Structures are given as structure tokens and as C-alpha cells.
Amino acid sequence: MCGIIGMIGNSNVAHELAFGLNMLQHRGQDAAGILTFGDRFRLKKGCGLVDQVFDGATLDSLSGNMGIGHVRYATQGSNEQSEAQPFYLNYPFGIGMVHNGNVSNFSELARQCREDENHIVESTNDLELMLYLLANELSKRNTTPWTASDVFAAVEASQKQIFGAYASLAVIAKRGLLAFTDPHGIRPLTMGRRKEGNGWTYAFASETASLEVLGFEITRELMPGEAIFVDTAGEVHSKLLHQKKPAFCVFEYIYFAREDAVFRNHVVAEARSAMGKTLAHRFREKNLSPDVVVDVPSSAYFFAESLARELGVPYQPGFVKNKYVGRSFIMPTQQLRSRAVRMKLNPIASVVKGKKIAVVDDSLVRGTTSERIIQLLREGGAKEIYFVSAAPPIKHPCIYGIDMSIRTELLAATLSEEQVGKAIGADAMIYQKLSDIEQVFQDVGLCHACFSGEYPTESATADLKFVEAERMTHKKQNSH
Ligand code: AMP
């Protein structure tokens, strides 16, 4: 998962792009980058947080009134600087691009490109491939002057070849800023505008808050398969292109997005509260009555607070989180992941001691975090521990850009609810039901492939094999 932002206006955009990226930092901490266009492309990207990659002088040097930015969360590829976005091409057109998602038929597309004699670069990265395909389609429509319909025709042609999830932004040199999404609209992208003198500055970002803090009025979200092109004269063109059944990523609501984000008219905080409420049914079914509900900070707060309210028991913060420890999830070995969880979370003794505790986390993937958390609660003197996952059992890997491992590492892929509870050392295990989530989002077409195995895109079975093989290779390399 990554965060993206783009802007086109009448003055330099780099500083504002960096502010906006900062607001998206929770979506990726591995690398950050900004590309601008004024008289030519200017690019800076590197590993680390936005504040580590950019200082004032660097942002001053990134002149240009249109630009794009990216924060990266390493998934399939390696965590190297060479994978950091944006990427750009100077030939046959000047195009710079960022995306959030994953091209699931990458291997097949890369093979086709290798056979194309005009394509001389070996693509190792799905964005590079998208860039090449779009440039190729644009060059087939090289009319002078270009019109927005030429741009849309090129996007539509590439949407028909690229399967998977992508919310993408592209700076087309001297022409404008292009935003487009995959035909299922799996990843989010929102548009905003801000009055500037006699004209408007337009911006796009993965989450609404990123635009709101910059004073933009939220115009709307891009629909599945839609493209919006803002040309250098400030004209906005939009078109619904290749569209398929809507399948918005349910994990955005469960884990990825900040609580103040709004997707498809659902505020994430409210959606989490609604999901917390449905978890109470599962407690009643199992006849469990905890003394207190605690959350695993910080993404589980709204689930836990509303579950407690529904059960009529107190919610209390049960852990203190050290915000300055790096991500445990992505550490290469189980031992390191385990140690990192211990450094990150410490229980508050008075909340835990002698109590029957319902502990809520947003999800359970490999079970490392939950196992450690249960140990911590036991060491803190908890009487009974009911572990609650606000997500249903994750049984299938994600091929759309979320780092959800290979099947063999997903605890719930082979174990029942009860067995998962035993494996992590809980006295009881409670999972959300997918049918309850569907009730909450009756008006949203969701992608819930990680729970149901129903992948919305074409060639998903073949793509899944490739994605798993890739991850196995990385795993082996990392363990050496
Ligand atoms: P695990 O320890 O492997 O079971 O991972 C579950 C924990 O990681 C939960 O606390 C989640 O908040 C967090 N998490 C879930 N999915 C992801 C993801 N794709 N990337 C990073 N962290 C995640």
C-alpha cells in the first residue's frame, strides 16, 4: 500500500506536495519522492520518511507548477531506492508517474514487452511497465495539438491490458496532470480544488485529509475506471473509461486509511465503529462477558470503543505504544518481528490485572503480534483473554498491493477460528464475519478477496501463482 498526491496550479507545488505526503505517511514509510515539471522534470526520491528525504532547500530546487508525490510501502519488490517512485520517461513523451496498487499480470505484460522490439528497457517494476504502456498508447495517437480525448483513449487502451489495482497520477510534460484508476476502482483517489486569484489549483490524493489540510475543497472521488485530465490552461476533462464491477479494497476501511478519511461516502472512523458494534453479536453467541475491552493501538480504537459500548462494559486503553519503533510487520524474520512487538507495546498493569479482557486488533495475519500481545497480557496478570480480530479470517494473499504474505504464512488459511485461538494462546478467539461487514457497506462494491478468495480481476489465478512465487524468492533472499 502506498500514498500518492498530485497538484497543478499557477505557482510552485513542491512544498505543498511534501506537506500533503506527510499527511499520507501512515500509508508508507519506506521511501518518498516528488517529481515536478516547470521547464523540465525535476525529481528527488529516496528511502525513509518524507521529512528525512526532503529539506527546504531540496523542495525549493523542485520548481514547477505541476507535480506528483509518493510514499512507498515495500510490498512485492525489494525495499531499495531504485524502487522508489515517481518514475519518468523523456521519450517518446515526457511523462512522470506514481501509483498506489499492484499490477497483478506484471509477469505476462513484461514478457509481452520483451517481445516488442521498440521496448529496450527490461522492466523490473510494475510502474515502469505502466509508464511504458501509456507512453506507447499515447504515441499511437500523436495528433497535434493533443486533445483530452487522445489522452483518454490512451488510458483506456492501457486499462484493457493492465490487470490489478492502481490509482495513478501522471504529469504529462507541457500538457497537464492526469489521474486515473483501475476498472474496479480497488484503490482510492480523491480530487480537490482551491481558488487561487482568478483561477483554480487542482489536486488529487489517496486520502481526503491530505487535501483538506492544504485548504482544498473536496470535489469528489474518482469512480472505477475513470480518468480526469487537468490541462495546463486549467480546464478539467473527465471521462468514465473501461469500467468493471466496483471492488473497493475493504482493508482501507479496516486498517490502512486514517480515521478521518472518507471513501464512497463512509467516514473510516464511523465505519470502524459500525464494525465494532457487529462484533458484539459474536460475544453473545459465545456467551462471553469481558470485564473490560482494550485495543491494540492505534488502528483498533474505534472498533474497541464501540464494541465496549454495545456490550455495556468499559473501554480502556490497555497498552502504551512506543511510536518511535520501526514497523514490525515487514521485518524479515519471525524472531525480529516478535522482539519489535515487545518494544512497541507495553501493557498498563492496573487495567489488566485480574480481569477478563477482550483485546481488539484490526486484523490477524501471521499471528505474531497477537501471540506476543497475549503473552504480555498474561504476564500482566489478566484472568482470561479473548482475542478479537475486527477483520474476518485472512485466508488468501492479496495481489493488489497489500503485503499479505504467501498463503502458507496466513494463520487462518489452514486453521479454524478455534485453532487460531489456541495457536496464539487466547482463551477465546472472535473473528468478524464477512456477512456483517457486507451489511455495513451495503452501498459499496467491495474487494474482499483476502477473506473470500473472490479476486475481482481477470487472470487472478495465474497472477496469484506469480505473486506468491515472487514473495517466496524475496523471503529466501531475506533469510540469507
Ligand atoms: P501479524 O502479526 O502478522 O498477525 O499481523 C497483524 C498485525 O499487523 C496487526 O496488528 C495489524 O495492525 C498489522 N497489519 C495487518 N495487515 C498489515 C499489512 N498489510 N501491513 C502492515 N501491517 C499490517
DSSP 87-102: EEE-SSS-EEEEEEEE
pLDDT above 90 (res 202): yes
pLDDT in the model for residue 37: 98
> 403: Cβ below 6 Å to ligand 1?
yes
Please give the number of the atom of ligand 1 that sits closest to the Cα of 1.
19
Determine the distance separating the centroid of ligand 1 and the alpha carbon of 139, expressed in angstroms. Answer: 42
Report yes or no: 475 and 277 within 8 Å, Cβ to Cβ.
Answer: no
Please give the number of the atom of ligand 1 that sits closest to the Cα of 398.
19
Of 71-80, 158-167, 201-210, 401-410, give the lowest mean pLDDT range.
71-80
Nearest alpha carbon, ligand 1 atom 8: 329
Nearest alpha carbon, ligand 1 atom 5: 365
53 lies in a domain? yes
Determine the distance separating the centroid of ligand 1 and the alpha carbon of 31, expressed in angstroms. Answer: 19
pLDDT above 90 (res 191): yes
Are 192 and 314 found together in one domain?
A: no
Are 281 and 174 found together in one domain?
A: no
Q: Which residue has the higher pLDDT, 118 or 18?
A: 18
Nearest alpha carbon, ligand 1 atom 21: 329
> 363: Cβ below 6 Å to ligand 1?
yes
Please give the number of the atom of ligand 1 that sits closest to the Cα of 330.
21
Q: Which residue has the higher pLDDT, 310 or 78?
A: 310
> 299: Cβ below 6 Å to ligand 1?
yes
pLDDT above 70 (res 331): no
Q: Which residue has the higher pLDDT, 180 or 476?
A: 180
Instruction: Give the separation between CA 129 and CA 127, rounded to whole angstroms.
Output: 5
Cell triple for residue 171?
504529469
pLDDT above 90 (res 479): no
Are 215 and 337 found together in one domain?
A: no
Report yes or no: 258 and 231 within 8 Å, Cβ to Cβ.
Answer: no
Q: Say which residue the cell 488529487 belongs to.
A: 204
**Quick count: other Cβ atoms within 10 Å of Cβ 416?**
11
Are 291 and 204 found together in one domain?
A: no
Which of 146, 148, 101 lies closest to 126, judged by CA?
101
Average pLDDT over residues 243-264: 97
Determine the distance separating the centroid of ligand 1 and the alpha carbon of 337, expressed in angstroms. Answer: 11
Please give the number of the atom of ligand 1 that sits closest to the Cα of 409.
3
Domain tally for the chain? 2
Are 360 and 426 found together in one domain?
A: yes
Nearest alpha carbon, ligand 1 atom 18: 403
pLDDT in the model for residue 145: 66
Name 285's Cβ contacts closer than 8 Å, sequence gap at least 6: none
Which of 480, 473, 476 lies closest to 77, judged by CA?
473
Are 123 and 184 found together in one domain?
A: yes
Instruction: Give the separation between CA 398 and CA 243, rounded to whole angstroms.
Output: 21
Are 242 and 391 found together in one domain?
A: no
Name 252's Cβ contacts closer than 8 Å, sequence gap at least 6: 187, 188, 261, 263, 268
**Burial call 54-93: b when 16+ CB within 10 Å, e when fewer:** beeeebeebbbbbbbbbbbbbbbbebeeebbbbbbbeeeb
Catalytic residues: 2
pLDDT in the model for residue 325: 73
Nearest alpha carbon, ligand 1 atom 22: 329
Q: Say which residue the cell 489488566 belongs to.
A: 352
Determine the distance separating the centroid of ligand 1 and the alpha carbon of 102, expressed in angstroms. Answer: 19
263 lies in a domain? no
pLDDT in the model for residue 219: 97
Average pLDDT over residues 112-118: 76
Q: Do the bridges between strand 217-221 and strand 236-240 make them parallel or antiparallel, or are there none, so unpaired?
A: unpaired
Are 312 and 207 found together in one domain?
A: no
pLDDT in the model for residue 74: 75
Are 241 and 278 found together in one domain?
A: no
Instruction: Give the separation between CA 156 and CA 181, rounded to whole angstroms.
Output: 10
pLDDT above 80 (res 192): yes
Of 18-22, 77-81, 107-111, give the lowest mean pLDDT range.
77-81
Are 200 and 311 found together in one domain?
A: no
Nearest alpha carbon, ligand 1 atom 20: 403
> 36: Cβ below 6 Å to ligand 1?
no
pLDDT in the model for residue 475: 67
Are 235 and 320 found together in one domain?
A: no
476 lies in a domain? no
pLDDT above 80 (res 407): yes
> 362: Cβ below 6 Å to ligand 1?
yes
Instruction: Give the separation between CA 476 and CA 130, rounded to whole angstroms.
Output: 28
Of 240-249, 341-350, 386-395, 449-458, give the lowest mean pLDDT range.
341-350
**409-452: per-residue pLDDT in tens?**
899 999 999 999 999 999 999 999 999 999 999 999 999 999 99
Output the DSSP codes for 325-350: S--STT-SSHHHHHHHHHHHEEE-HH
Instruction: Give the separation between CA 212 and CA 194, rounded to whole angstroms.
Output: 10
Cell triple for residue 396?
488468501
253 lies in a domain? no
Sheet holding 41-47, edge to edge: 41-47, 31-37, 66-72, 3-8, 199-205, 190-196, 217-221
Residue of 329, 336, 374, 409 to mutate, ligand 1, most atoms within 8 A of C-beta: 329
Query: Roughly how many angstroms between the first and final C-alpha of the chain, as a whole number?
Result: 26
> 366: Cβ below 6 Å to ligand 1?
yes
pLDDT in the model for residue 195: 96
pLDDT above 90 (res 41): yes
130 lies in a domain? yes
Q: Please report which confidence band the pLDDT of residue 461 belongs to, taking 50, 70 and 90 as the band edges.
A: confident
Q: Say which residue the cell 456490550 belongs to.
A: 311
Average pLDDT over residues 228-253: 97
Determine the distance separating the centroid of ligand 1 and the alpha carbon of 269, expressed in angstroms. Answer: 19
Q: How far is CA 184 from CA 98, 245, 364, 414, in A?
A: 19, 6, 26, 29
Average pLDDT over residues 79-105: 89
Which of 67, 79, 82, 132 lies closest to 103, judged by CA?
132
Are 291 and 400 found together in one domain?
A: yes
Task: Examine the fold and report which residue of 247, 279, 302 is the final residue of a domain before the chain moves on.
Answer: 247
> 367: Cβ below 6 Å to ligand 1?
yes
Which of 445, 309, 426, 414 lies closest to 359, judged by CA?
426
Which CATH number is 360's domain given?
A: 3.40.50.2020
> 361: Cβ below 6 Å to ligand 1?
yes
283 lies in a domain? yes
pTM of the prediction? 0.94
Provide the residue type at 26 as one letter: H
**286-320: per-residue pLDDT in tens?**
999 999 999 999 899 999 999 999 999 999 999 99
pLDDT above 60 (res 330): no
> 226: Cβ below 6 Å to ligand 1?
no
pLDDT in the model for residue 480: 47
Nearest alpha carbon, ligand 1 atom 9: 363
Domain that holds residue 311: 270-448
Determine the distance separating the centroid of ligand 1 and the alpha carbon of 364, expressed in angstroms. Answer: 6
Report yes or no: 168 and 85 within 8 Å, Cβ to Cβ.
Answer: no
Q: Which residue has the higher pLDDT, 141 or 226?
A: 226
Average pLDDT over residues 176-181: 98
Please give the number of the atom of ligand 1 that sits closest to the Cα of 300.
12
Average pLDDT in the chain: 92
Average pLDDT over residues 268-280: 98
477 lies in a domain? no
Determine the distance separating the centroid of ligand 1 and the alpha carbon of 9, expressed in angstroms. Answer: 38
Instruction: Give the separation between CA 363 and CA 275, rounded to whole angstroms.
Output: 12
Determine the distance separating the centroid of ligand 1 and the alpha carbon of 469, expressed in angstroms. Answer: 21
Instruction: Give the separation between CA 360 and CA 132, rounded to whole angstroms.
Output: 44
Q: How far is CA 235 from CA 143, 203, 407, in A?
A: 19, 13, 47
Instruction: Give the separation between CA 138 and CA 472, rounded to whole angstroms.
Output: 36
> 364: Cβ below 6 Å to ligand 1?
yes
The SS3 call for residue 284 is helix
Which CATH number is 56's domain given?
A: 3.60.20.10
Name 379's Cβ contacts closer than 8 Å, sequence gap at least 6: 347
**Quick count: other Cβ atoms within 10 Å of Cβ 353?**
13
Q: Please report which confidence band the pLDDT of residue 117 belongs to, taking 50, 70 and 90 as the band edges.
A: low
41 lies in a domain? yes
Beta-strand ranges (E) seen in 216-331 are: 217-221, 226-231, 236-240, 248-249, 262-263, 266-267, 292-295, 319-321
